[in-house]
Amino acid sequence: MAQDLQANTEVIVRIGSFVDVGDAFTPETGITLGAADEAELLKHNGVATVDISGNTWAPIANCDGWYNLTLTVTDTNTEGNLTVVVQDGSVCLPVHVRFNVLSQAAWASKYGAKDTGYMDVNVKMISEDTTAADNCEADYDGTGYAGGTIVKQGDVTKLGGVAQSATDLKDFADAGYDPATNKVEGVKLADTATAVTNDVGITQAGADKVWGTAARALTDKAGFSLSIAGIQAIWDKATSGLTTAGSIGKLIVDNINATISSRSSHTAANVWSVATRALTDKADFALSTAGIQAIWDKATSGLTTAGSIGKLLVDNINATISSRSSHAASAIWSVATRALTDKAGFTISGAKTTLDALNDITAASVWAVGTRTLTSFGTLTQDMWDKLTSALTTAGSIGKLLVDNIDAAITSRSSHGDPTAAIKGSPGKTNQEVYDHERGTDGAYTGTPPTVGQIADQIWDELQTGHVTAGSFGKYLDTEVSGVVGGGTPATIADAVWDELKAGHAVSGSFGVLLALEATLTAMKGSGFVTTEDSLRVIRQYIDQLESGEKPPSKANFTV
């Protein structure tokens, strides 16, 4: 529900809650209007947005994600809906808070302190008629409720609860006064102008003349004034009731909104036109005791504004002054002679028993000694071996070299060195030769490695029964060979091979094509050529003659 605000009034409102844009629940405690993507006011009825990035803004203590925002008199000068919008897409989810700006009179009527508990009501219209409301106010204006000058019509049926009395009164009024029939005790019996004049001090003609005069002015106002009660009633009139637009009362309420003493009697132009602006009298010019105490009591947690003197003090006064030296480093080292003023109990072993005696040794003298031996390493050795590898990151250092290259156990690598280098204990043999020998003999070096022929013989001499593992090449050969011609003998297998038709073996490069070519050349040889080589040479010559346009000899028996 929207919070009600009083129009034209500065007020502090609560804005929140601000949560992290990533997880949508962690409170954001560092939101600032100046750094936000948008910090705006949306006023009633489409008025242009108002930038509030410069408004006073502060986090609420013990309520993370909530902030106090100060709305100025200008911010609340439009009655109706008012929305505060703060958005920062990279930090928090959008936040908007709605308010309802009430007129000052409505605010006072609703929220002003009341002993009776009733709201003030100012009726502007009756049956949608402002004149009726004005007439009613004139008739009952709080001065005794006498009815004023407005005539009320009524139908009286009883007087004192008796209907006959009302009838008699009506007859008396209708017929006029008649002493014979409508005698009333105490009423003058003579109905004459003289009697009327005596009663009211003026004749009827005189009264008619008075009221018939258009201009009626009092010729003597001496002693003519409001009563004390009337004057008091004017000053006691509640400001909440002075709401009539254009009235002097409304004008006073709207504009006397601050004490006159709180405002300068000079214009801004007058003040700033003075070139030199200085206090001519600073006597007794000081903060109050409470003000001074408030400054020193300010919590450091609240001094967070970047660039402020408060933030500077919080950031830099981070230790007690007594914990720091009172001398500057330059002052200490500028002293040429630095000696202990009190050497009581301070002794040095050896020939040189004083600091002055020891002080004659220079760095050059120390490094000039040829042999420099440490008598004790202390924990240096252990510290070196305990150094974490994660800290050895300096490029070019021996530590970084060790970390980068000792990246596996030595036992996980080969025990052989450079294949081309001569091996110790085997003159004339290289690592590669030894490795080849070992590889060929299952790791045992026996001198001369087996030849290709020996290896082939060993393979073909292997017993068939030793190679029955499914998937091995031995098992494959055994299965394929055994399956030819129903597992026939070598003789039948050979016959089957030689009985294959030449037409079934025409794949280029195959042994079948080679045999067919050889048979053709042999047949040509039988036709007059001495050797197969001769046949090929002559064929080549004939082809060359054909390509050159010559006619080959008839012996070639070529058809072109």
Mean pLDDT score, 536-558: 67
Give me the half-sphere count of Cα atoms (radius 13 Å) on the Cβ side of residue 481: 11
pLDDT digits (tens, 9 = 90+) for 419-448: 555 544 555 555 555 555 545 445 555 567
Q: Is the pLDDT of residue 284 over 60?
A: yes
Question: Radius of gyration (Cα) for the chain, nearest Å?
Answer: 63
pTM, 2 dp = 0.28
Mean pLDDT score, 528-549: 67
Calculate the alpha carbon distances from 382 to 46, 377, 386, 388, 504 in Å: 78, 9, 6, 12, 83
How does the average pLDDT of the chain come out, rounded? 76
Mean pLDDT score, 506-515: 71
pLDDT of residue 431: 55
Return d(Cα 89, Cα 22) in angstroms, integer.
10
Return d(Cα 365, Cα 347) in angstroms, integer.
23
Selected residue with higher pLDDT from 133 and 346: 133
Return d(Cα 485, Cα 489) in angstroms, integer.
9
pLDDT of residue 28: 95
Instruction: Kindly indicate the confidence band of residue 4, based on its pLDDT and cuts at 50, 70 and 90.
Output: very high
* CB-based contact 67:59 (threshold 8 Å): yes
Q: Is the pLDDT of residue 29 over 90?
A: yes
Of 39-43, 155-159, 366-370, 492-496, where does mean pLDDT reach its minimum? 492-496
Tokens standing for 243? 């709401």
Instruction: Kindly indicate the confidence band of residue 485, based on its pLDDT and cuts at 50, 70 and 90.
Output: very low
pLDDT of residue 171: 74
Q: Is the pLDDT of residue 543 over 90?
A: no
pLDDT of residue 41: 94
Mean pLDDT score, 314-335: 81
pLDDT digits (tens, 9 = 90+) for 72-131: 999 999 999 999 999 999 999 999 999 999 999 888 888 877 666 666 677 778 888 888
Question: Where is 511: in which H helix or E strand?
Answer: helix 511-525
* Residue 19 CA, distance from chain mean position: 9
pLDDT digits (tens, 9 = 90+) for 198-214: 555 567 777 777 777 77
Q: Domains plus CATH for the chain?
A: 3-111 (2.60.40), 417-461 (no CATH), 464-499 (no CATH), 503-556 (no CATH)
Mean pLDDT score, 156-172: 78
Residues 6+ apart with CB under 8 A from 97: 3, 13, 14, 15, 83, 84
Q: Is the pLDDT of residue 230 over 50?
A: yes
Q: Is the pLDDT of residue 306 over 80?
A: yes
Mean pLDDT score, 309-320: 87
User: Quick check: helix, strand or coil at residue 13?
Assistant: strand
pLDDT digits (tens, 9 = 90+) for 211-224: 777 776 666 666 66
Q: Is the pLDDT of residue 534 over 70?
A: no
Return d(Cα 10, Cα 77) in angstroms, integer.
10
pLDDT of residue 558: 46
Residues 6+ apart with CB under 8 A from 355: 339, 340, 343, 346, 348
pLDDT of residue 356: 67
Calculate the alpha carbon distances from 195 to 175, 198, 205, 249 in Å: 20, 5, 14, 48
Q: Is the pLDDT of residue 5 over 70?
A: yes
Give the pairing of strands 80-87 and 95-102.
antiparallel
Mean pLDDT score, 185-209: 59
pLDDT of residue 441: 45
Phi-psi region of 491 (alpha: psi -120 to 50; beta: other; left: phi over 0): alpha
pLDDT of residue 38: 94
Q: Is the pLDDT of residue 535 over 70?
A: no
Of 35-44, 268-277, 478-487, where does mean pLDDT reach its minimum? 478-487
Give the pairing of strands 57-59 and 67-71.
antiparallel
Q: Is the pLDDT of residue 283 over 60?
A: yes
Task: Calculate the dihedral angle through the C-alpha atoms of 145, 148, 150, 153, rounding to the nearest 10 degrees.
Answer: 50
Return d(Cα 398, Cα 407) in angstroms, integer.
15
pLDDT of residue 232: 86
Q: Could you tell me the sign of the dihedral formed by the alpha carbons of 207, 208, 210, 211, in that order?
A: positive
Alpha helices (H) in 187-340, listed in sequence order: 193-200, 204-212, 228-235, 248-255, 268-272, 289-296, 309-316, 329-333
Mean pLDDT score, 468-479: 78
Q: Is the pLDDT of residue 495 over 80?
A: no
Instruction: Kindly indicate the confidence band of residue 268, based on its pLDDT and cuts at 50, 70 and 90.
Output: confident
Of 179-188, 402-411, 548-557, where does mean pLDDT reach its minimum? 179-188
Return d(Cα 6, Cα 96) in angstroms, integer.
19
